[in-house]
Amino acid sequence: MKVGIIGCGTIGSKLAEHIDKDLRGRARVTALSDIDGKNAKKLSAKLRSRPKVGPVERLIRSVDLVIEAASPKISGDVARKAVNAGKDVMVMSTGGLLKSYRSLFELAKKRKAHIYLPSGAICGLDGLKGAKFSGISKVTLTTRKPPEGLKGAPYVIRHNINLGKIKSEKVLFEGDAFRAMEGFPANINVAATLSLCGIGPGKTRVKIIASPSIKRNIHEIEVEGSFGKLVTRTENIPSPDNPKTSYMAILSAMATLDGILESVTIGT
């Protein structure tokens, strides 16, 4: 399987190295793209497969699987271009899909292409998928992050929130997944993934809490329905290169990749 990676930062680099080392003979990184050409060239030089560096359109034409690990600003467009060309695509910046996910999913069906959205830094999507076959009455995500992990978020800037002055737990945001993504596009892709897996962005409730006493990104999920109740809590260690990205997000993308290549599927 020829793989192209768009976005050669924390996640893109780790996935490229995983494919290069651990998936030898089954998958090969053949193309890279990044808005900052230096990042792509540096990564290419580290890989045994010496992938070509170039624009997104050329990458999509040349590979079997496109991996987006760049930004919610381009993820929707990348996914649309990939599936339109009949290519499979794994999207990390899931928040960028929310605006027009229905037409994107329809297009993928028509073009017989697959869209893969890894669970990222949350656990519980397996149960939620099963629960969808019965009635679901509620899906909520409560996220606790150290205040510095929310730096630069449009919601924080718009509301003039001084993160440095937060001395005890403070609820910054409560609302649906659409509004969570608008306010925190780089921090809360998990809300988008959870909502797309479950009852949709308009019905999925999200609470974001800044907590100065924690060092981990903590995501709690609650799902209620005819099946009963599901509660998960994931305490994520931030990745050393990018504190906004949990290490688990990288591991979950590796697992999704392995799942694409394996012939046995375990878990829902």
Ligand X SMILES: NC(=O)c1ccc[n+]([C@@H]2O[C@H](COP(=O)([O-])OP(=O)(O)OC[C@H]3O[C@@H](n4cnc5c(N)ncnc54)[C@H](O)[C@@H]3O)[C@@H](O)[C@H]2O)c1
**Residues carrying an active site annotation:** 219
Comparing CB distances to ligand X, the nearer of 30 and 252 is: 252
**In the complex, minimum distance from the CB of residue 254 to ligand X, in angstroms, rounded to a whole number:** 13
**In the complex, minimum distance from the CB of residue 246 to ligand X, in angstroms, rounded to a whole number:** 6
Comparing CB distances to ligand X, the nearer of 8 and 166 is: 8
Comparing CB distances to ligand X, the nearer of 120 and 225 is: 120
Which of left, alpha, beta for 141 (phi over 0: left; psi -120 to 50: alpha)?
A: beta
**In the complex, minimum distance from the CB of residue 187 to ligand X, in angstroms, rounded to a whole number:** 7
Comparing CB distances to ligand X, the nearer of 225 and 234 is: 234
**In the complex, minimum distance from the CB of residue 153 to ligand X, in angstroms, rounded to a whole number:** 11
Nearest to 51 by CA among 4, 8, 14, 1: 4
Report the residue closest to ligand X, judged by CB.
9
Comparing CB distances to ligand X, the nearer of 180 and 186 is: 186
SS3 of the chain: CEEEEECCCHHHHHHHHHHHHHCCCCCEEEEEECCCHHHHHHHHHHCCCCCEECCHHHHHHHCCEEEECCCHHHHHHHHHHHHHCCCEEEECCHHHHHHHHHHHHHHHHHHCCCEECCCCCCCCHHHHHHHCCCCEEEEEEEEEECHHHHCCCHHHHHCCCCHHHCCCCEEEEEEEHHHHHHHCCCCCHHHHHHHHHCCCCCCCEEEEEECCCCCCEEEEEEEEECCEEEEEEEEECEECCEEEEEHHHHHHHHHHHHHHHCCCCCCC
**In the complex, minimum distance from the CB of residue 135 to ligand X, in angstroms, rounded to a whole number:** 27
Quick one: tokens of 78?
């990348």
Binding stretches for ligand X (CB under 6 A): 6-12, 34-36, 39, 69-74, 92-94, 120-121, 186, 189-190, 193, 242, 245, 249
Quick one: tokens of 61?
């034409």
